[in-house]
Amino acid sequence: MPEGHTIHRLAADYRERFADRPVRASSPQGKFADGAALIDRQPLTDADAHGKHLFLGFGAAGWVHIHLGLFGKLTFGAAPAPPPTDTVRLRLSGPDAYADLRGPTTCGLITDAEKQAIHDRLGPDPLRAAPAHANAAGAAGTPSDDGEPAWQRISRSRTTIATLLMDQKVIAGVGNVYRAEVLFRHGIDPYRAGRDLNRAEWDAIWADLIALMREGVRNNRIDTVRPEHLPEAMGRPPRVDDHGGEVYVYRRARQPCHICGGEIRTAELAARNLFWCPGCQRR
DNA sequence: GTAGAATGTCCAG
DNA sequence: TGGACCTTCTACG
């Protein structure tokens, strides 16, 4: 159940465990048997992420394109690998580690050109942006997305900002949690139209997404609560929840807002659950 | 045991 | 807009 930070973290995990050494590849479940055979015994030459898309490079053999969708999971373990369960779509194993992929929406072998086509239809990714302190060009060879193309679309759109933030063509990597949290942090009602945001609001959102999602990669979880609103600071009980991180509104329907004390609301928007605080977020 | 939900996306109508 | 799809985990009998 990943947002962009998870995918970038996974790309790094693959690189650390398998880079530049031949891997064994198999598809115990069978659905990727042909692809696995083509990369078997090839070295992993690169691992890349854009938004929620993960790309594992195998030199001339091409790229394994993975999208986890809502349910997909990757689990890493130390060698020797145990016998795989029959739901494993792709297993990679090396001398030190193995990785099992289950339940992805997408797992296919693609060419450089096909990979480029995927990049071309995705919006800028806050995790591919140059850090705020770097110069505009970024270090050689590193991607440096900027938020301008996203602003161009948002500022002309009558669609709600909540919908636009989830649209991967507009901005890549933001999912339901970051959407809800970043709108709360900037006091913006999720139903406001994109074109009713001003430039300063957008710039603040983009900068905040870069910071929040980098933190997400580092901690491997989503934390969005400012220090002064943490449980320790406010003397409230910590969150008891599967996701771990402290949040303002995500999955907190009918609970009191950490800032104004009002009830957090929830509604369905485009088949996804939306959470917001009517007291803190302005139309 | 089984229904339901879940941080996602695509396609048909 | 509604349904399909991929899997795991939890709550409830």
For residues A145 and A159, give the distance between their C-alpha atoms in angstroms, rounded to a whole number.
Answer: 23
Per-residue pLDDT of chain A (283 residues; tens, 9 = 90+): 689 999 999 999 999 999 999 999 999 999 999 999 999 999 999 999 999 999 999 999 999 999 999 889 999 999 999 999 889 999 999 999 999 999 999 999 999 999 999 999 999 999 999 766 555 554 555 668 899 999 999 999 999 999 999 999 999 999 999 999 999 999 999 999 999 999 999 999 999 999 999 999 999 999 999 999 999 999 987 776 555 689 999 999 989 999 999 999 999 887 889 999 999 998 8
The Cβ of residue A116 has, within 10 Å, a number of other Cβ atoms equal to 10
For residues A198 and A186, give the distance between their C-alpha atoms in angstroms, rounded to a whole number.
Answer: 12
Do the beta carbons of residue A88 and residue A29 sit within 8 Å?
yes
Per the annotation, the verdict on A272 as an active-site residue is yes
Peptide bond into A104 cis (omega under 30): no
| pLDDT value, residue A138 | 47
- Of A226, A155, A230, A224, the closest CA to residue A194 belongs to A155
For residues A114 and A120, give the distance between their C-alpha atoms in angstroms, rounded to a whole number.
Answer: 10
A166 CB inside 7 Å of strand B: yes
A51 CB inside 7 Å of strand B: yes
List the A189 CA – B4 C1' distance (angstroms): 29
Tell me which nucleotides of strand C come within 7 A of a protein CB.
Answer: 1-10
| Active-site entry in A9, A17, A28, A52 | A52
Domains of chain A with bracketed CATH: 4-121 (3.20.190.10), 126-276 (1.10.8.50)
* Residue ranges near strand C (C-beta within 7 Å): A 29, 69-73, 85, 87, 89, 102-105, 242, 270-271
Name the nt closest to A100 by C-alpha to C1': C7
Reported pTM: 0.93
Strand order from edge to edge, sheet including A46-50: A46-50, A53-57, A63-67, A106-110
List the A271 CA – C2 C1' distance (angstroms): 10
| pLDDT value, residue A76 | 94
Residue lying closest to nucleotide B10, CA to C1': A105
List the A52 CA – C12 C1' distance (angstroms): 34
Tell me which nucleotides of strand B come within 7 A of a protein CB.
Answer: 6-10
A35 CB inside 7 Å of strand B: no
A67 CB inside 7 Å of strand B: yes
| Active-site entry in A31, A143, A272, A278 | A272
Per the annotation, the verdict on A2 as an active-site residue is yes
Name the nt closest to A31 by C-alpha to C1': C6
| pLDDT value, residue A271 | 80
